[in-house]
Amino acid sequence: MEDEEMEKKVQQYLQRKGFRLTELALQEERNRLSTSAISDVALDRSENDPARYHDGYSKLRTWAYSSLDQYKHELLRVLYPVFIHCFMDLVAEGHMQEARSFFHTFREDHEVMNSRDLQKLEAVLSPSHLEEMELARSLRQNKFKIKLCEYSYELLLQYLQKTQALVVLGVINEHITFEVSPGQPSLISDDADVVALIGTSKDLAKQINQKEVHWGLLEDSVEERMEKALAESDKIEAENKDADAEDNKKRNAEGGKQGSSLKKTKKDKLVGATGKNVRTETSMVSVAPRVKPELTLPATPIEVEQSILEDLRNRAQLNSVALPSVSFYTFLNTHNGLNCSSISHDGSMVVGGFSDSSVKVWDMSKIGQPAKTSGSQGENGSSQGERISVVNEGKRPYTLFQGHSGPVYSTAFSPFGDFLLSSSSDSTIRLWSTKLNANLVCYKGHNYPVWDVQFSPVGHYFASASHDRTARIWTMDKIQPLRIMAGHLSDVDCVQWHVNCNYIATGSSDKTVRLWDVQTGECIRMFIGHRSMVLSLAMSPDGRYMASGDEDGTIMMWDLSTGRCVSPLLGHSSCVWTLAFSCEGALLASGSADCTVKLWDVTSSTKALKTEDTKGGSANRLRLLKALPTKSTTVYSLRFSRRNLLFASGALSLSSS
């Protein structure tokens, strides 16, 4: 009221003094202010209008799809993050009906690449669900990183400036960070790693990947000592061969039998060729640098060293022409109860983890033999583990281990087969003795189900992965973990040791793979590129490369030293459950839920990487050498023996037959 009275008095004063122009100017200013006030009210109403999300996204979508083909595939990358954040903002503001309509209208745009995330987000029915659902919380707390070329980025900025799309601009500023690269747009085939969810710091992955990784093999490892011993024995054999050749010449001169000399010469050639074969094959791994162990490693028994020496002596050399023999163990009549399986290093034992909380071990040497009822071996006084030798249809004796109180999700043999680990939904890990047939230790530390557990290459240490988003390092003689690796945004689904025991790799439902330093517990590499949860990992024998398989059937080969994807492997049509490198690293085997084992040529891709280091990794794709389909058996586990025989196991699925 005071302002109005003041304006009236000012107007009366101007009229009395005859300031007509000033009075008109004051009236115009008053009218202009009232008009802007009305427009501000209209703007406030439009800011609360839920239709602005639909309009903003729809215009961005139309613009992206109508862009030049050369840049369209890059600009389309922006749509998915904008779509899900528009949907979640509508839910957060309480516009549930508009949110559902928006979601179903534009869902088809992203169904191919992000179907699993969309299925989860479809269950969001109230603002409280955004706080309760892990995926929604992760999406709102972290940023998307999108790779664009310089010109595509300029086109996007021009569009946002021209249209004044405030909703889209707000989403991009708050939830998206761009990695702009000079030059031409990336290839469409490179779209695997161009949109990824990262932490709140936009340079998190870059900062992590700048750390140094010593990817070589251990100094004075058992296999290195055995290879040296084998080389020395080959040298002695060669000297003996020369001496025998001299003796044969003398015998021939004295009229000895020519036939025996001929046989001896052929045998010597065969032995010489075998020794040469072994040396050639081991040299591929021996070129890797040697590093010192960060952990205190256990001593290797003499009988184990002798066994390794024998295996190295009889190892088959594999390459793109010489493919491995495969021994496949099929579980019958599991009735969907088998969750996991594992094979010992020599293939003599196979273990299965079941939904009824049991762990069963089959001794391959006893398959087909009549079962023997055992008394003394099973009666060890342990209430947690027992041995029950039974006959399954008169043919299958197995050892039953009971102790878990929930489904068993992972099993792993120690390198020498004398111990067995199992992890369960009861959040515990159990250590079993395959010689005593008893439960030795129950490790408690995780708060939720433990999805995976793996022994280190030297035994004694093991690593676990859990629903609680952590991986942990354990030792057999302590019930508490030595290290806790925390950093993943979702479940840690799989874990794998590096060959030098100084690092572990973890794959997660957050679609990333991380490499951790065992000594410090720090993340030293983050590998971004998968479009679904990572289910399997494998390390190359020389320690330089790592393979990871995901739920969509994609396998990616990574260079640990650079953190770069060497080559994507496309061929499986379903989850890749297991991966394994051959002993010399020439081949990679993959097993999938699509009931196939596939063999990939690693050597050609890594050679191309070394010769064309300046080019992108997408140009070097691993060559599929062989696809080995089963009738209807999903592949759960793969393992190359020290002699390069490939073992595989899986459960017969009647539904797919």
The pLDDT value recorded for residue 255 is: 54
Q: Give the CATH number of domain 318-365+395-607+620-651; options: 2.30.30.240, 2.40.240.20, 2.130.10.10, 3.30.70.250.
A: 2.130.10.10
Cβ atoms of residues 222 and 570 within 8 Å: no
pLDDT tens-place string over residues 572-614: 999 999 999 999 889 999 999 999 999 999 887 665 555 444 4
Determine the Cα angle at 177 with ends 173 and 181, to 5°: 130
How far, in Å, CA of 189 to CA of 436, rounded?
Answer: 53
For residue 273, the tally of other CB atoms under 10 A from its CB is 10
pLDDT at 390: 42
pLDDT at 617: 40
Going by C-alpha positions, the residue among 162, 145, 137, 128 that lies closest to residue 80 is: 145
Local confidence band at 616 (pLDDT 50, 70, 90 cut-offs): very low
Residue 308 in this model has a pLDDT that exceeds 90: no
Per-residue pLDDT, 49: 78
Topology at the third CATH level for domain 50-199? 1.25.40
pLDDT at 369: 64
Distance between alpha carbon 390 and the CA centroid of its chain, in Å?
Answer: 38
Write down the pLDDT at residue 568. 87
> What is the Cα Rg of the chain in Å?
33
Where do the structural domains in the chain lie, given as residue ranges? 50-199, 318-365+395-607+620-651
Check residue 430 and report its DSSP letter: E
pLDDT digits (tens, 9 = 90+) for 245-285: 776 666 666 554 444 444 444 444 433 434 444 444 444 56
Residue 543 DSSP code: S
Q: What is the mean pLDDT of the chain?
A: 80
The predicted model gives 467-483 an average pLDDT of: 94
pLDDT digits (tens, 9 = 90+) for 145-197: 888 898 998 999 888 888 877 888 888 888 888 888 888 887 655 454 566 66
In the three-class reduction of DSSP (H, G, I as helix; E, B as strand; rest coil), residue 43 is classed as helix
Per-residue confidence (pLDDT) for residue 227, from 0 to 100: 67
Question: Alpha-carbon distance 241 to 527, whole Å?
Answer: 52
- Which of 3-7, 363-367, 420-424 comes out lowest in average pLDDT? 3-7
Eight-class DSSP state of 78: G
